[in-house]
Amino acid sequence: MGSISLNNINKSFGSTEVLKNINLDIADGEFLILIGPSGCGKSTLMNLIAGLEDLNSGEIIIDGLNVSDESPKDRDIAMVFQSYALYPTMNVARNICFGLEMNKVPKSEQESILKRVSELLQIDHLLDRKPGQLSGGQRQRVAMGRALARSPKVFLFDEPLSNLDAKLRVEMRTEIKKLHKRIGTTMVYVTHDQIEAMTLADRIAVLKDGELQQIGTPYEIYNDPVSHFVADFMGSPGMNFIECIVKDENLIIESGGKKYEILIPCKDALNKSNLDVVLLGIRPEMLTEVQPSTVGNKFIQKVKFDVEVIEPMGADTVAIGQWNETEVMVRLSPESGNSAGNGFDLQVDTSKAILFDPSSGLRLR
């Protein structure tokens, strides 16, 4: 129905290369997230799929058909824009039906589609209003309604939630996920919000400077990143990166005024790399107060930790201190009773720790 293949996509604006040799296959019904920092080319890639920009080279295949030279209207694609791009002079009903009107769908059919879509999105009481009379969340729904009305092969979302306030964003996120479950159409979704990416995606594609860094399930991207960049981008609070000297297959860490030799799981990679100094990547949730239940795991070690700053987040508390003169964030239970300026015993679980080459930023495997 709506599979997409992007083959060797290149795009440049003048002399700036925006996308470099992108290859990506999206299965029918898949929810794919394109994520990356601003300027990485993710929106350009989306515009290329939609046909709003022209390719420099490569081909785009939708549902087995090469649509590289087709105009947007012949690609059977619907898009939800960041600014919603609702037609300001048309009421909600006409906004939703405009695409049908342009495609000469009979009036009676338009009406039944309008009814179905507006009920699905709970906007049936707003049909006579102009976009200017709607709240942000309502506009968002209308924009989705406009996309849904045409039952396209593929939905494109260009940072659709970034103009909403935090609470509404979480609500709409859930709603988009439900919607995808319900209609099962292929969705490509651009965002720079890693939480959106983790929660919505079947697969995530991470872009940086116009190059595809990694494609994988949210679990793979989070736990098995290919580079420092990907590891750094996903997770909040972010992964800790500490430069460590290697000694006898262990890493030296200075914490709370003492030196420790830390045992790590990925020894083969470490030996293979022949590096004297490596970048240790460890997520804050692997650094906790001592938990008696986890005995018997050889990667669990204890170090002294001096807390400089405490940031309570409600469900848990982030404490910030130093390892090897680098800031380290650890995740504590709010009941742990630690306070800034105090030291305590920190439990370090290195079973999911990963190593990077400090100069190239690539993962040591």
- Helices 136-149, 166-183: crossing angle, 10 deg rounding: 20
- Verify binding: residue 229, other proteins, rule CB under 8 A: no
In terms of Cβ atoms closer than 10 Å to its own Cβ (0-12, 13-18, 19+), residue 55 is: middle
Cα separation values, 9 from 18, 49, 57, 245, Å: 10, 10, 6, 41
Closest CB to other proteins among 160 and 235? 160
CA angle 257, 263, 266 (to 5 degrees): 135
How far is residue 365's CA from residue 161's CA, in Å, rounded to a whole number? 37
CB of 56 vs other proteins, minimal distance in Å: 16
Q: Which one of the spans 23-31, 84-92, 208-216, 257-265 is the region binding other proteins (CB under 8 A)?
A: 84-92
Q: Determine contact, residues 33/173, Cβ cutoff 8 Å.
A: no
CB of 248 vs other proteins, minimal distance in Å: 59
How far is residue 250's CA from residue 264's CA, in Å, rounded to a whole number? 7
Q: Which one of the spans 68-76, 175-183, 205-213, 267-275 is the region binding other proteins (CB under 8 A)?
A: 68-76
Identified binder of other proteins from the candidate list 2, 36, 99, 321, rule CB under 8 A: 99
Identified binder of other proteins from the candidate list 23, 57, 103, 294, rule CB under 8 A: 103
Radius of gyration of the chain (CA): 25
Closest CB to other proteins among 142 and 330? 142
Closest CB to other proteins among 88 and 296? 88
- Verify binding: residue 72, other proteins, rule CB under 8 A: yes
Closest CB to other proteins among 81 and 299? 81
Q: Which one of the spans 75-83, 195-203, 222-230, 342-350 is the region binding other proteins (CB under 8 A)?
A: 75-83
Which residue carries 């309604």 as its tokens? 145
Contacts of 171 (CB under 8 A, 6+ apart): 137
How far is residue 44's CA from residue 343's CA, in Å, rounded to a whole number? 49
In terms of Cβ atoms closer than 10 Å to its own Cβ (0-12, 13-18, 19+), residue 145 is: buried
CB of 64 vs other proteins, minimal distance in Å: 21
CB of 172 vs other proteins, minimal distance in Å: 18
Q: How big is the site for other proteins, counted in residues (CB under 8 A)?
A: 29
- Verify binding: residue 299, other proteins, rule CB under 8 A: no
Q: Which one of the spans 18-26, 69-77, 121-129, 281-289 is the region binding other proteins (CB under 8 A)?
A: 69-77
In terms of Cβ atoms closer than 10 Å to its own Cβ (0-12, 13-18, 19+), residue 143 is: buried
Closest CB to other proteins among 51 and 284? 51
Of the candidates 108, 122, 107, 12, the one whose C-alpha atom is nearest the C-alpha of residue 56 is 12
What is the x/- site pattern for other proteins, positions 110-149, by CB under 8 A?
Answer: ---------------------xx------x------x---
- Verify binding: residue 151, other proteins, rule CB under 8 A: no
Closest CB to other proteins among 71 and 274? 71
What is the x/- site pattern for other proteins, positions 27-56, by CB under 8 A?
Answer: --------------------x--xxx----
Q: Determine contact, residues 347/294, Cβ cutoff 8 Å.
A: yes
Identified binder of other proteins from the candidate list 32, 45, 84, 190, rule CB under 8 A: 84
How far is residue 328's CA from residue 322's CA, in Å, rounded to a whole number? 5
- Verify binding: residue 71, other proteins, rule CB under 8 A: yes
Q: Which one of the spans 56-64, 76-84, 208-216, 270-278 is the region binding other proteins (CB under 8 A)?
A: 76-84
Token pair, residue 55, equals: 């390719």
Of the candidates 31, 34, 9, 12, the one whose C-alpha atom is nearest the C-alpha of residue 22 is 9
Binding site for other proteins (CB under 8 A): 47, 50-52, 71-73, 77-79, 81-90, 98-99, 102-103, 131-132, 139, 146, 150
